[in-house]
């Protein structure tokens, strides 16, 4: 039977395939991904594909179609069932799979879903996703065959491995966990009874409708329930997850948010004791404070492009023990496998806090204070967005500005820094600025506005609350 399938172009993203279920993403797409991705695995000399799915309502039917597609290409499929994306990554490593696919909509609203992939233990992204779309469209897949399917429950193995790296001794912390109805709930149930301390779980039930709040811990309004609970219960800290548990949110004992770069400082100081001089990677959106603190702790800070697949690739290249993004993706290669896992990051944070002789808030309060804008996203045509970055970069170079062009432009001035980059996944430009003072921040916003206006764009809306940190 001949095979050909064309995807809705907007669903083929930089780091994954993602869309609105029933509109830009269908079960036919899922079958085609299985059929085509398995063909790529087989063409690569492999045979085994591990498949898992998250807690969204549409995930079981998409997973079934995906499995059928992979089997039709002759793959030996291992189904690991429902669980977090990091559990799929763990399965891919421990089961020595040739390929892996996770059905997940990550932190998107409930009507979205998608697919994250790994090939030969490495992220499958960018040009590879475009190539998959091309092969499916032209029908360039292996002849139909009959693969095999088996189901393996790796939850217990995953939980045991997570607990192995808990290093907080017997100190009993009080911790509030906001599962946010995410798929991490399946793991937390069995994990927390085996961790020392008192553990309070909010929204523990896995529910793809996300009735409590949107499953994205990088948005402050999604953390209000957790903040209230930490204060009411006088907890040592609060931990939140996104929809597929590869991104973490952290609240200290005073109910204040620790952002991605602050979490990374906490972890880097600890990891660098075992890896003196180690390279610690963060994305271009991270605070200058992070890069300075890594240096102070004896590490080698490296600023890199935003995107979990890009960071993972850079980690492997530089043998970095730890990396992170402002979006809450934390990657450990120290004792762990180099992929982003919010539950594992939580275990490591708990170990550090349990060994501290002061509360977590004292760590946050001791960091140098800066004042920054939130991440500002504004619409810009997909073709135009990269051109704008080129124009701005060219003008800055002519002006002799202190500029990094790793990912968009990041401009350092005596007042602090500002950033402008094109999103890899949406038709938007992303801006951020961090000043050493309120006036410094105003100067940076003005400099950014001038550059945008020179490229014919309006002044962005900076009215989001200043994220002082």
Just list the catalytic residues: 106
Alpha-carbon distance values, 334 to 166, 267, 367 (Å)? 13, 11, 24
Distance of CA 82 to the CA centre of its chain: 19
Three-state secondary-structure class, residue 277: coil
Residue 59 main-chain phi, psi, to 5 deg? -65, -45
Is there a contact between 15 and 118 (Cβ–Cβ < 8 Å)? no
Alpha-carbon dihedral angle through residues 406, 409, 410, 413, given to the nearest 10 degrees: 130
Residue 422 bridge partners (DSSP) = 429
| Residue 339 burial class via C-beta count within 10 angstroms: exposed 0-12, middle 13-18, buried 19 and up | buried
Alpha-carbon distance values, 407 to 130, 247, 333, 419 (Å)? 21, 21, 23, 9
- In three-state form (DSSP H/G/I as H, E/B as E, the rest C), the secondary structure along 407-464 is CCEEEEECCEEEEEEECCCCCEEEEEEEECCHHHHHHHHHHHHHHHHHCCCCCCCCCC
In the chain, what is the straight-line distance between the N-terminal and C-terminal CA atoms, in Å? 59
Pairing between strand 248-252 and 237-241?
antiparallel
Which residues, 6+ apart, have CB-to-CB distance to 309 below 8 Å? 14, 15, 123, 124, 125, 126
Query: 413, 415, 408: which is closest to 430 by C-alpha?
Result: 408
């Amino acid at each position: 039977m001949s095979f050909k399938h064309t995807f809705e172009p907007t669903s083929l993203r930089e780091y994954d395939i993602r869309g609105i279920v029933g509109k830009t993403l269908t079960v036919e797409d899922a079958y085609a991904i299985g059929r085509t991705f398995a063909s790529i695995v087989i063409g690569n000399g492999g045979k085994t594909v591990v498949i898992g799915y998250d807690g969204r309502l549409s995930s079981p039917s998409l997973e079934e179609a995906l499995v059928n597609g992979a089997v039709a290409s002759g793959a030996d499929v291992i189904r690991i069932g429902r669980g977090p994306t990091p559990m799929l990554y763990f399965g891919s490593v421990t089961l020595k799979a040739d390929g892996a696919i996770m059905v997940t909509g990550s932190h998107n609203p409930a009507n979205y879903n998608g697919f994250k992939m790994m090939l030969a233990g490495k992220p499958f992204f960018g040009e590879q996703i475009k190539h998959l779309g091309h092969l499916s469209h032209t029908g360039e897949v292996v002849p139909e065959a009959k693969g095999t399917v088996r189901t393996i429950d790796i939850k217990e193995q995953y939980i045991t491995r997570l607990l192995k790296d808990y290093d907080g001794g017997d100190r009993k912390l009080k911790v509030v966990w906001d599962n946010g109805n995410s798929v991490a709930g399946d793991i937390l149930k069995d994990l927390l009874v085996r961790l020392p301390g008192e553990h309070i779980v909010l929204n523990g039930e896995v529910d793809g409708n996300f009735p409590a709040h949107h499953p994205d811990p990088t948005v402050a309004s999604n953390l209000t329930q957790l903040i209230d609970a930490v204060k009411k219960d006088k907890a040592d800290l609060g931990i939140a997850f996104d929809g597929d548990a590869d991104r973490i949110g952290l609240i200290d004992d005073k109910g204040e948010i620790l952002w991605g770069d602050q979490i990374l400082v906490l972890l880097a100081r600890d990891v660098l004791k075992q890896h003196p001089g180690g390279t610690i990677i963060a994305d271009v959106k991270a605070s200058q404070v992070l890069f300075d603190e890594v240096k102070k702790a004896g590490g080698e800070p490296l600023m890199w492009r935003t995107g979990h697949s890009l960071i993972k690739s850079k980690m492997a290249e530089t043998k970095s023990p730890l990396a992170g993004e402002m979006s809450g993706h934390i990657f450990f290669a120290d004792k762990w496998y180099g992929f982003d896992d919010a539950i594992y990051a939580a275990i490591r944070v708990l170990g550090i806090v349990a060994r501290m002789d002061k509360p977590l808030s004292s760590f946050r309060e001791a960091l140098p204070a800066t004042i920054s804008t939130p991440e500002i996203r504004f619409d810009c045509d997909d073709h135009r967005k990269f051109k704008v970055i080129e124009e701005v970069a060219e003008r800055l170079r002519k002006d002799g500005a202190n500029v990094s062009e790793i990912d968009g432009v990041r401009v350092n001035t005596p007042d602090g820094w500002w950033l402008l980059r094109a999103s890899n996944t949406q038709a938007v430009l992303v801006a951020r600025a961090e000043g050493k003072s309120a006036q410094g921040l105003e100067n940076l916003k003005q400099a950014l506005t001038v550059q945008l206006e020179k490229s014919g764009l309006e002044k962005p809306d900076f009215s989001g609350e200043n994220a002082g940190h």
